[in-house]
Structure 1
Amino acid sequence: MENEGLGGSESCCAACQVHPPAWRSARAAFVYDAWSRRLILPLKYSDHTENAAVLAHHMAAAAPDLLMHATVVVPVPLYRTRLWKRRYNQAALMAQHVGARAKVPCMLDALQRVRATRALARLSAAEREQEMERAVRVRDRCCHHIEGQAVLLIDDVLTTGSTAAACANALMRAGARSVDILVAARTGRVDEQNPRFIQE
């Protein structure tokens, strides 16, 4: 895990050196705690879509370098049944606001979940990897738009890193030049599947 403290020093954990993640770097605006949950959970489950703009403001403020590097913004996708029940993808709402702030184009439907997956947090690393294997792909009609791009991948919470890994791998297979991760919050859980983090 890569960290940036108050002094600006950076380091990369042994796990990331042995198993480099598919993405270049990752950033979270908040730790997933009681305060950030008051913004994220109502957005995710209670139709408080106005919270997407608030979270995107903090995400953009936490990652000016990632925004400067990005050439396209892409949200983590929902599987179609979950999208139908929720009626919106909270990651897509945040991606729209982040892209607008950075004046970077946003491709809301570039990624597609091709099958439903179980909740990952309680699975082992091997089980998570198996669960997410080829669960996400770049839509055929979007592949030529992804090729050569520096992609900024947006999500609400990063817990195990498995979903982000599946998305990043799909983007890299489609020819993306690089993938960075920007999330509203990260949990305190860290394991060998998690990304390198630069924590503001």
Structure 2
Amino acid sequence: MRSGIWKDYATACLQWPGTILFPPVCLACHDHVVRPGTLCAGCWPAMRFLEKPWCEVMGTPFGHDMGEGFLSAEAIANPPPFARARAAVGYTGPARRMVQQLKFHDRTDLAPWMARWMLRAAGELIPDADLVVPIPLHRGRFLRRRFNQSAELARAFARLAGLPFDPVAVERIKGTRRQVGLGARERQDNVRGAFRVRPEKEIAVAGRRVVLVDDVYTTGATVSSVTRALKRAGARNVDVLTFARVLPGDFRPEDADTI
């Protein structure tokens, strides 16, 4: 027991200079916090973690427990091509700021912390999964941004879940308008036929149970289009996992575009 105490003391001593020079900050607002990878006292209660009860298909939370297998009106009226969708948090407040920092300010260091919450949300998906695949960026946008935020999240999640990860299984073959300001039908039309599984990756996808990863679920147009591409290539099943989700009734900010 005494050796364990000394080990903890030695670790703290080694970390102390770095903590003084570079004190840890909140993942969402940059206020100082005690430990790296945490939220401050102001952001933590504002983060909306998505919990059961929820729609078994769409993952949207219910206000009351409706019973096992109960589906939302969205899942019944417009069944998606994917089997299940899950998200870690609602796309408001601190979650919105974290996505913006990752996506537009090169904060790829946030991805491993965000993936930890995604791992918790994916508890039902992991046992049924064989492969993790991110939503791809168009080549031009990738060159401008220099990284794919969805791939950063997918890579970190796959590592935590112990699942194979393929960052280039799916490619975007058609340039489209940004999704900002488009309605649900316009978004579907905008991404129709925009994705395909690379021919050399079809063998790796065929028969697999895929977890498709993105940063934000808005209307589902993008993940649905990629799901169809994966199924055309022979994927056995596709589940969707995102860090955040725009929930019914929430305001859709202009940066909720996930492509």
How much does 1:123 deviate? 2.0
| Residue identity matched to 1:29 | A
Instruction: Name the residue aligned to 1:157.
Output: 216
Instruction: Name the residue aligned to 2:190.
Output: 131
**What CA deviation, in whole Å up to 9, does each residue of 1:129-150 have, x standing for no partner?**
2211110111111011100010
Instruction: Name the residue aligned to 2:201.
Output: 142
- The reply on whether 1:65 has 2:124 as its aligned counterpart is yes
1:157–1:187 contact (8 Å) kept in structure 2: yes
How much does 1:16 deviate? 2.4
| Residue identity matched to 1:101 | L
* Secondary structure of 2:244's aligned partner: strand
Aligned residues: 190
- The reply on whether 1:37 has 2:96 as its aligned counterpart is yes
1:59–1:184 contact (8 Å) kept in structure 2: yes
Aligned equivalents of 2:95 and 2:227: distance in 1? 25
**What CA deviation, in whole Å up to 9, does each residue of 1:110-130 have, x standing for no partner?**
011112211224223332222
Aligned equivalents of 1:92 and 1:122: distance in 2? 25
1:83–1:89 contact (8 Å) kept in structure 2: yes
| Residue identity matched to 2:205 | I
* Secondary structure of 1:65's aligned partner: coil
Which of 216, 228, 237 is matched with 1:169 structurally?
A: 228
1:134–1:166 contact (8 Å) kept in structure 2: yes
1:75–1:108 contact (8 Å) kept in structure 2: yes
Larger radius of gyration, structure 1 or 2?
2
Aligned equivalents of 1:137 and 1:126: distance in 2? 21
Q: Give the TM-score taking structure 2 as reference length.
A: 0.69
Aligned equivalents of 2:181 and 2:247: distance in 1? 14
Unaligned segments of structure 2, at least 5 residues: 1-53, 250-259
How much does 1:18 deviate? 3.7
| Residue identity matched to 2:81 | A
Unaligned segments of structure 1, at least 5 residues: 191-200
Which of 83, 102, 110 is matched with 1:24 structurally?
A: 83
1:112–1:138 contact (8 Å) kept in structure 2: yes
Q: How does 1:81-120 map to 2 (within 5 A)?
A: 81-120=140-179
* Secondary structure of 1:112's aligned partner: strand
Identical columns (%): 37
RMSD: 1.8
How much does 1:154 deviate? 0.3
Instruction: Name the residue aligned to 1:52.
Output: 111
* Secondary structure of 2:108's aligned partner: coil
* Secondary structure of 1:175's aligned partner: coil
| Residue identity matched to 1:95 | A
| Greater per-residue strand proportion | 1
Moved more, 110-119 or 143-152: 110-119
Aligned equivalents of 2:65 and 2:189: distance in 1? 39
Aligned equivalents of 1:128 and 1:90: distance in 2? 20
| Residue identity matched to 2:88 | A
Moved more, 125-134 or 164-173: 125-134
* CA gap 1:142/1:188 in 2 versus in 1, 3 angstroms: same
